[in-house]
Structure 1
């Protein structure tokens, strides 16, 4: 998941301009979370409540092919899939949260447990998708066809991806099967990194084949925590890169294409790309609001709910919003404070000035919320870096910083990278 460098000239043009979006958005923006319920010790309801309590509106989880079909043509809940099945059955009705079901991964019954490439395997995959969508009709809102095809996630056999024609056929038949079972389902595919040249070239070929005739949107995983361009590691630079991607996508298709950020995260491991828990919390707040300010982005599903391991040096073990002992990390505790605003308020305005000040204005009825922060670079002996301050609710920050979350008539100071929230019943 190493993104390429966005052309600096393009990024500079974007960041130097004043970005102004004076539009009131009406679409429901999802603030979701990825879960691995199959590997968690407690019941599915326990983790649904946990996600709900932190303010997430949606969950994303795998529903692997190999745990549905076996033997050939027979469908059931194999192994520990029952826990996942319960989550998809109950998330909306019992917790008021939508869900995204990932149709993916290999099955040892077909193509030597590798990518489904043969006609028989693709047809079988579509049949599994139909059975699944029919089972969850009216319960699951979103379906994502495969997960990170290009990097071989979940592939047990040969990990070399087959041709674009194979993937197109798989998506086409699967999407038609899901829509047949549940016409109201929202189907997406891609799970590519829009900041990588290789991923963009792959998508271009799929679009030329007519991909958008069969899916409702494109899913992206814009990880950039190891990008050699440090600006691209920040929320502002990352979203600017997605803006470039979206403009190319719109020009290619001839219309606005809904984009779903189905995975994004900032790991807190010790090592290259790892950041502090406080900085991760800063980034999560900023990124969530910046994504919401783009009308073409329909939601973000953060990766992930709970740390996947206990090794502090392993980045894959440190993406969680909650530690393995279920203690909330700063990202969870602070997202909880603005979750209602991110989900229920509408963007009125977003401005990014030439000197790096960011101002996001939201409203709900007569209530207003303004979130501000600075992304101004400072000079050091090694060059120019961004000022990074801790994101804290319990301790006042230096330099007269007002940390999120603050209410009342206190003056807002935007000369800080710490996000500041101002609530008011006046415009």
Structure 2
């Protein structure tokens, strides 16, 4: 038998290097989480850092900064940026939403209740587009060289663009904002459009506009009710083709895809807390295997206390900061695979069984293994002598075990929650 060489990056034409200030394809550099606060909440930030997250995504709201025309109050975001940097966390700030000083009120429909309501129209007049871009450029200049990634808007293909989605209006805003940011801070990292799902028609029109001349990444929110993260593979491949087809000829490397928001609710209708934990770490691992360098989990904390309300139950901790199983799962992932990058997926008989091979700069190998479907057993042959006490295996909840190597090989029981196997200098054999 020969050691298996697996390389998803070569096979799928995925980027080996990442543009701009986006992280490398290595754990835990691109592990992030979404929050809903600006000032205070230092206990939250302590727990976020202790879990192993490296990024925090948060709305950078226009109306919260520009209180009067042309006057910016940065104090809240100055505090948040300081608090993040103090804990070694990087910011992904979303440049959103509209402003009553520049746009008129419009009638919209609440997407949850179905009731009519009044909101401010998204920037569509020349004056409001110019003002939004001017404010965004000032923000990029103020937080230059602080590792911030700027995302232009949140889900403009659904109700967050008012009064209704309009891809051409969004493109005008995105282009003006990119140009203004590049003029103010040429090294700024910019991603867009942060759309809900993959929405190929919206994305195609957006990419065909020439916007990739300005972007460091293309961001999507691959939500899928109840379905596992691995079910997004075909959509990622289609998006990869779309991005590559519209990438300017002068770009040396493929433009990365960013998963800037993605999660599952434990409301009793979507997933259980244990399944949420499994999906969180599998999302991170699967995204890396697809060449996605930055993955933001939605959400950090339950937004309310109703156990049956979908929007209240996306957190990895509850409303009182008590850890859910997902907290321990991401903590274990980061601890066990820090410094490791996905070398590829080991081929198995069942397509629903996953064994990812990860390596670090020291030439060490670890495995992340799980099953999408009901549990199964796989036996792997390893080149290399195991430690006398057997191979070290850590379950996704942090429990450690030792498995002996027999003549049949290393036998693993694959379950929904990944487990991690330390092969040291060993290598899998096909």
Note whether the superposition's TM-score is higher than 0.5. Answer: yes
In 1: Cα distance, 2:320 partner to 2:276 partner: 19
| TM-score of the two chains, using structure 2 as the length reference | 0.78
Residue by residue over 1:12-59, the C-alpha shift from the partner in whole angstroms, topping out at 9 and shown as x without a partner, is xxxxxxx96276966244100111114xxx824332222110000111
In 2: Cα distance, 1:25 partner to 1:323 partner: 37
Instruction: Provide the residue aligned with 1:219 in structure 2.
Output: 219
Instruction: Provide the residue aligned with 1:202 in structure 2.
Output: 202
- Relative to total residues, which structure has the larger helix share, 1 or 2? 1
In 1: Cα distance, 2:375 partner to 2:133 partner: 48
Match of 2:365 among 363, 368, 374: 368
**Which aligned segments of 4 or more residues in structure 1 are displaced greater than 6 angstroms?**
none
Q: Alpha-carbon deviation of 1:217?
A: 1.3
In 1: Cα distance, 2:54 partner to 2:235 partner: 26
Measured at CA, do residues 256 and 25 of structure 1 come closer, stay the same or move farther in structure 2, by a change above 3 Å? closer
- Relative to total residues, which structure has the larger strand share, 1 or 2? 2
8 A contact 1:348–1:363 mirrored in 2:
yes
Match of 1:193 among 185, 192, 196: 196
1:420 to 2:419 alignment: yes
8 A contact 1:194–1:242 mirrored in 2:
no
8 A contact 1:20–1:352 mirrored in 2:
no
Measured at CA, do residues 388 and 76 of structure 1 come closer, stay the same or move farther in structure 2, by a change above 3 Å? farther
Instruction: Provide the residue aligned with 2:84 in structure 1.
Output: 91
In 2: Cα distance, 1:161 partner to 1:344 partner: 41
Instruction: Provide the residue aligned with 1:101 in structure 2.
Output: 93
8 A contact 2:158–2:196 mirrored in 1:
no
1:292 to 2:288 alignment: yes
Where structure 1 has 5 or more consecutive residues not aligned to the other structure, the ranges are 1-18, 227-232, 376-385, 390-400
Measured at CA, do residues 415 and 409 of structure 1 come closer, stay the same or move farther in structure 2, by a change above 3 Å? closer
Where structure 2 has 5 or more consecutive residues not aligned to the other structure, the ranges are 1-5, 18-23, 105-119, 377-392, 405-409
8 A contact 2:93–2:149 mirrored in 1:
yes
Residue by residue over 1:222-278, the C-alpha shift from the partner in whole angstroms, topping out at 9 and shown as x without a partner, is 00015xxxxxx112212343223222332343773211100000111023xx11100
8 A contact 2:62–2:96 mirrored in 1:
yes
Instruction: Provide the residue aligned with 2:240 in structure 1.
Output: 246
Measured at CA, do residues 183 and 341 of structure 1 come closer, stay the same or move farther in structure 2, by a change above 3 Å? farther
Instruction: Show the 5 A alignment for 1:149-298.
Output: 149-153=156-160, 158-162=162-166, 164-195=167-198, 199-225=199-225, 233-253=227-247, 256-271=254-269, 274-295=270-291, 297-298=292-293
Give the number of aligned pairs.
Answer: 365
Q: Alpha-carbon deviation of 1:412?
A: 4.0
Name the Cα RMSD after superposition. Answer: 2.6
| TM-score of the two chains, using structure 1 as the length reference | 0.79
Instruction: Provide the residue aligned with 2:388 in structure 1.
Output: none
In 2: Cα distance, 1:276 partner to 1:200 partner: 30
8 A contact 2:258–2:294 mirrored in 1:
yes
In 1: Cα distance, 2:348 partner to 2:241 partner: 21
